[in-house]
Amino acid sequence: MIILSLHTGYHDGTASLFDGYDLLAAVQLERLTRKKGDGGGIPEAALDEVLAIAGLSRDQVDVVVLSRASFPARYFKGSAVKRAEYALHKLVGHEKLRDMCSQMQKTGEGDPGRIFREDLFRREYGFRPDTVVAYSNHHLAHALSALFYTDWDDALLYTADGCGDNVHYSHRILKNGTLTCLFGGEDQTLKPRRVDSLGLAYGFATQALGYRMNRHEGKLTGLAAFGEPVRAAELVRRFTVDDTGVISSDFASDGAMRDEIFRLARGVEPADMAASVQKVLEDTVLASVRAILKTHPVRHIGLAGGVFANVRLNRLLCEATGTDETFVFPGMGDEGITVGGALQYLMERDGMAAWLGRRRRLETVYLGRDHGPDIDAVMAATGGVSKLPGEPVETAVGLIAEGKAGAIYQGRMEFGPRALGARSILASPADAGINASLNDRLQRTEFMPFAPYVLEEDAADIFEISSANRYTAGFMTITTAVKPEWRDRIPAVVHVDGTARPQIVRRDENPLYADILTAFKRRTGLPVLVNTSFNAHEEPIINTPAECRRALIDDRVDFVVTQGGVYVASPD
């Protein structure tokens, strides 16, 4: 059964494709349109991309799963007058979007199929008349994306983001083969929306410091380590956690929360405000998790949703709760609910027992199109780029050892917000100045150091890796302490607080990536390399060979290494 899952949100538009329980492809719209965070309406380019990756067409799709976000207004049922109005808007090119969850609240209808014109949607997008249209619950989809890729018998599944389907958090417990929703389920969809979102609070703090909400929160996470939480006490008292772990606030509205956070940020050093909102986030979510675990003791924690892009928070929850294992789904933003949405459909179709029995550990997130066969031909195109002599691995390692920064381009593009060795920039971790110089070339303003990648056999020697964090560290979704004896040897990847955000790699998942690190270790004695995403400021991660070639010519990096060779920019 071919299942196409779409997220139609105003940001992070995404498509994922499953054949039964097997995830075939997943692509964010931004990688195709080159518009950071692109979304709003049906992500048609991503839809066609995942189908093309699998060699399928729209009429071969058996199920389409839709997130309950934004759609062209004509897809919602209404009066003849409204339908005529929407048709006119489409004709003149000013079609309006409507949020499905808001439409459900407006009509008091809990079943989206009763307000959505499914036949029109199938017809206009070329799906078969018998293609099933299903709908995902935002936070359930987040939760299932974390649970499915584990083998746990028990777990707390905790989701958190700015808002999704009228909810900011959800808490679910897996025990004895049953998944129980404690808070944040479908019963919240038609209720008045609560004002309790720490995700929004963090976003408002991001705005208050002059950055873009839903895009630059990571800057605050890094900046926080340089400051003191001087405003934390004033902000944290506005939030409470009850005995069941439910977070509340005394703000009358989101606007009131925003105004207060902007007030607190005035006259305070940016690092201190960042430290303040980080502490409020950490203390409040930890209190919530501890309250849930006190009543529902389990040994595993699954995390998903945009709040858990905060890798410092993830470390705290893992270490402070004494969990046996914590897993953060790599697509922790709204892109991840396309994976969870398909899994929700399968769970509802097959039942929990069968669904749990189909689970598997996540090996990679290389889920985009494989441009590997084309990259060398594109690089060899006339003018601007030269191929260096020598074998790719040793040639690349020689350049890195000389202080050069290069990009690896191979295989299928990564899914999620971080490059993991298919579209990554590589550099020596011994060069403390590489952060400033490379960020300058990429026009970035970053406060965290670059992340390291490390071979599985070396990980625990360099970082505080344990059975609790090893799995999720394979996807660079958690920070760990760097062992003291290594901090001065690899300064480019160590934050001011003595931590790093490592990616643990195995050779069978990405041989070129692993072999470069193995050769670098053999040459220098250093068992890690810098990995930062291959993109410039405010640009999505590089996707196509042409984009890679352009970045090299534009001096974003010193070289590009592929399976076929090492390339450098050259005069025309």
Q: What is the pLDDT of residues 349-408, one digit of tens each?
A: 999 999 999 999 999 999 999 998 899 999 988 789 999 999 999 999 999 999 999 999
Report pLDDT digits (tens) over 306-319: 999 999 999 999 99
Predicted local distance difference test score (pLDDT) of residue 421:
97
Residue 299 exposure: Cα atoms within 13 Å on the Cβ side = 8
Confidence of residue 443 (pLDDT cuts 50, 70, 90): confident
Domain boundaries, the chain: 2-136, 140-329, 366-569
Q: Which CATH number fits domain 366-569: 3.90.870.20, 3.90.470.20, 1.10.357.140, 3.40.640.10?
A: 3.90.870.20
Does position 273 have pLDDT exceeding 90, yes or no?
yes
Report pLDDT digits (tens) over 153-190: 999 999 999 999 999 999 999 999 999 999 999 999 99
Does position 84 have pLDDT exceeding 80, yes or no?
no
Which strand (E) or helix (H) includes residue 325? strand 325-328
Distance (Å, whole) CA 95 – CA 40: 12
Indicate if 140-329 has the same CATH topology as 2-136.
yes
* C-beta of residue 422 within 8 angstroms of C-beta of residue 519: no
Q: Apex CA 31: angle with CA 27 and CA 33, to 5°?
A: 115
Does position 91 have pLDDT exceeding 90, yes or no?
no
Predicted local distance difference test score (pLDDT) of residue 433:
84
Range of lowest pLDDT (72-81, 205-214, 293-302)? 72-81
66 φψ region: left (φ > 0), alpha (ψ -120 to 50), beta (else): beta
In angstroms, how far is CA 561 from the centroid of its own chain? Answer: 25
As a whole number, mean pLDDT of residues 101-109 equals: 95
Distance (Å, whole) CA 215 – CA 538: 9
* C-beta of residue 279 within 8 angstroms of C-beta of residue 236: yes
Distance (Å, whole) CA 196 – CA 194: 6
Distance (Å, whole) CA 7 – CA 25: 14
Which tokens in the block code for residue 126?
Answer: 């070329």
As a whole number, mean pLDDT of residues 82-86 equals: 73
- Average pLDDT in the chain: 95
More confident residue, 200 or 435: 200
Nearest to residue 365, comparing CAs of 216, 560, 510?
510
Nearest to residue 444, comparing CAs of 431, 453, 434, 429?
434
The CATH H-level (homologous superfamily) assignment of domain 140-329 is ATPase, nucleotide binding domain (3.30.420.40)
Largest distance between two CA atoms of the chain: 73
Burial 514-544 (b: 16+ CB within 10 A, else e): bbbbbbbbeebebbbbbbbbbbeeebbbbbb
E-only strand ranges, 307-428: 325-328, 366-370, 385-387, 406-409, 412-414, 423-427
Confidence of residue 269 (pLDDT cuts 50, 70, 90): very high
Does position 483 have pLDDT exceeding 70, yes or no?
yes
More confident residue, 440 or 363: 363
More confident residue, 229 or 440: 229
Does position 329 have pLDDT exceeding 80, yes or no?
yes
Predicted local distance difference test score (pLDDT) of residue 537:
75
Does position 86 have pLDDT exceeding 90, yes or no?
no
As a whole number, mean pLDDT of residues 328-356 equals: 97
Distance (Å, whole) CA 169 – CA 163: 8
pTM above 0.85, yes or no: yes
Which strand (E) or helix (H) includes residue 120? helix 118-125
Residue 496, judged by CB atoms within 10 A of its CB (0-12, 13-18, 19+), counts as exposed
Predicted local distance difference test score (pLDDT) of residue 89:
72
CATH fold for the domain made of 2-136: Nucleotidyltransferase; domain 5 (3.30.420)
Predicted local distance difference test score (pLDDT) of residue 35:
95
Distance (Å, whole) CA 177 – CA 101: 30
Strand order in the sheet with 14-19: 22-28, 14-19, 2-7, 63-67, 132-136
Predicted local distance difference test score (pLDDT) of residue 572:
61
Does position 21 have pLDDT exceeding 80, yes or no?
yes
Nearest to residue 496, comparing CAs of 447, 428, 445, 460?
447
